[in-house]
């Protein structure tokens, strides 16, 4: 049944991607970016990278507390998906959410001030690293419970269908969440009701310290929806252009009322699970290999140089990004902590 449907959707719409087990690149469907799009993607990914590096520094200095999960290495996923979306589309993700806040257009200062637990943080300093939201930008958080974003995202998509608008919700979770029961409950309803949702599995190969091989009986997560007849695709999540291409197909499929797609983004986080994780479950060489051969920012930088963009132009972007991040950090360190009276506000409306 599942295979039947997947076949049908492929033959009816070739752009829906090749065999779910194959990387999208093999099907040759990645639509190349224009020079300006590459510049935009480069700038956004660099902004996330530099922001996260700064957050790591501030954490080390004791200005950021608790859990702090950095997105370094995974930038192409959220930037590519955001480029595939239209205004009004929604995003929901788990606790590794700094990249998503930036990609959805949240103000850098308010994000960094949330990390430092300050009054003008996007959640008034009451949410912290894992709980940032901007519904006015379509960003619904920022959730700390592994797997919760699958049904919550399906619910946002349900609301789109209920209202009869043409919005699509992009619901992110990780390879670890792909073994949670509620994810499959959400898959079932999303396909049963043809909800306009795209499920993004950010497969960075490690659920905290447990490699996917040690946690999953089957490791091809793109096929985890097949028993519900949800088509899936493996995507090179380090290549922002392939991410956008696969994202565009899945979003269009959802917008046309055809239901969900699972995109398994093959990606990699360079840092530990959180700041307190020394990442001894993998070798230094493995990380170094990914950085040297698959870095999403270097990949797009090389293409830009091929497009004739000068080193100086790229350096100018780098400088501007650094200035933005430094300004955000300055703000986040000088902003006052929440007033004591804010302890009891926003419990109820």
Partner 1 sequence: MPIEVLMPALSPTMEEGTLAKWLVSEGASVKSGDVIAEIETDKATMEVEAIDDGRLAKILVPAGTEGVKVNTPIALIEGEDEAATDSAQPTAKAAPSVQQPQEPPQSKPEQSASTEAPQQNTAPARDEAPATHAPEPQNASEIAPGTEMVSQTMREALRDAMAEEMRRDPDVFLMGEEVGQYQGAYKISQGLLEEFGERRVIDTPITEYGFTGVGVGAAFTGLKPIVEFMTWNFAMQAIDHIINSAAKTHYMSGGTVRSPIVFRGPNGAAARVAAQHSQCFSAWYAHVPGLKVIAPSTPADAKGLLKAAIRDPNPIVFLENEMLYGTHGDVPKGDDFVLPIGKARIARAGKDATVVSFARGMTYALAAADMLAKDGIDVEVIDLRTLRPLDMETVLASVRKTNRIVTVEEAWPVCSIGSEICAQVAMQAFDDLDAPPAKVSGADVPMPYAANLEKLALPTAEQVVAAVKSVLYL
Q: Restricting to residues 286-315, name those near partner 1 by CB under 8 A.
A: none
Q: How far is the CB of 141 from partner 1 (least distance, A)?
A: 7
The dihedral sign for the CA sequence 149, 267, 83, 224 = negative
15 lines the binding site for partner 1 (CB under 8 A): no
Residues in the interface with partner 1 (CB under 8 A) total 49
92 lines the binding site for partner 1 (CB under 8 A): yes
220 lines the binding site for partner 1 (CB under 8 A): no
1 lines the binding site for partner 1 (CB under 8 A): no
Copy the structure tokens of residue 27.
Answer: 């099907």
198 lines the binding site for partner 1 (CB under 8 A): no
The nearer residue to partner 1, 313 or 346, going by C-beta atoms, is 346
DSSP β-ladder status, 210-211 and 232-236 = unpaired
**Cross-strand bridge partners of residue 198:** 170, 261
Q: How far is the CB of 254 from partner 1 (least distance, A)?
A: 15
Among 20, 81, 189, 300, binds partner 1 (CB under 8 A): 189
Copy the structure tokens of residue 282.
Answer: 């993998």
CB 201 within 8 A of CB 175: yes
- DSSP H or E run through 58: helix 35-60
Q: Count other C-beta atoms under 10 Å from residue 6's C-beta.
A: 21
121 lines the binding site for partner 1 (CB under 8 A): yes
The nearer residue to partner 1, 114 or 264, going by C-beta atoms, is 114
141 lines the binding site for partner 1 (CB under 8 A): yes
Beta-carbon contacts of residue 157 (< 8 Å; ≥ 6 apart):
168, 169, 171, 190, 195, 196, 197, 254, 260
What three-state secondary structure class fits 170? strand
The Cα 14–Cα 344 span in angstroms is 54
Of 145-153, 208-216, 266-274, 280-288, which segment contacts partner 1 by CB under 8 A? Answer: 145-153
CB 90 within 8 A of CB 74: no
Among 18, 56, 144, 209, binds partner 1 (CB under 8 A): 144
179 lines the binding site for partner 1 (CB under 8 A): no
Sites of contact with partner 1 (CB under 8 A): 90, 92, 121-128, 131-136, 140-145, 148, 150-160, 162-163, 181-182, 184-186, 188-189, 192, 345-349
């Amino acid at each position: 049944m599942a295979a039947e449907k997947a076949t049908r959707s492929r033959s009816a719409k070739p752009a829906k991607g090749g065999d779910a087990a194959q990387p999208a690149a093999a099907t040759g469907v990645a639509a190349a970016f224009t020079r300006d799009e590459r510049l935009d993607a480069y700038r956004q990914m660099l902004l996330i990278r530099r922001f996260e590096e700064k957050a790591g520094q501030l954490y080390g200095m004791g200005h950021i507390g608790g859990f702090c999960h950095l997105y370094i290495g995974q930038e192409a996923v959220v930037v590519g998906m955001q480029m595939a979306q239209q205004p009004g589309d929604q995003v929901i993700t788990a606790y590794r959410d700094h990249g998503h806040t930036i990609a959805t257009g949240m103000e850098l200062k308010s994000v960094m001030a949330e990390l430092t637990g300050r009054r003008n943080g996007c959640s008034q300093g009451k949410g912290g690293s894992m709980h940032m939201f901007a519904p006015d930008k379509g960003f619904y958080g920022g959730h700390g419970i592994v797997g919760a974003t699958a049904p919550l995202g399906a619910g946002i998509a349900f609301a789109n269908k209920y209202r009869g608008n043409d919005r699509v919700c992009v619901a992110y979770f990780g390879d670890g969440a792909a073994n949670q029961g509620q994810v499959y409950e959400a898959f079932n309803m999303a396909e049963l009701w043809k909800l306009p949702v795209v499920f993004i599995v950010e497969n960075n190969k490690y659920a905290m310290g447990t490699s996917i091989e040690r946690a999953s009986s089957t490791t091809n997560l793109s096929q985890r929806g097949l028993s519900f007849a949800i088509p899936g695709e493996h995507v090179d999540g380090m290549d922002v252009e392939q991410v956008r291409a696969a994202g565009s197909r899945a979003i269009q499929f959802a917008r046309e009322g055809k239901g969900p797609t699972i995109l398994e983004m093959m990606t990699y986080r360079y840092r530990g699970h959180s700041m307190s994780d020394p990442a001894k479950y993998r070798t230094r060489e493995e990380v170094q290999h990914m950085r040297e051969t698959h870095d999403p920012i270097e990949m797009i930088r090389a293409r830009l140089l091929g497009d004739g963009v000068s080193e100086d132009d790229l350096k100018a972007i780098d400088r501007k990004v650094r200035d933005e991040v430094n300004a955000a950090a300055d703000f986040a360190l000088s902003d006052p902590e929440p007033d004591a009276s804010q302890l009891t506000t926003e419990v109820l409306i």
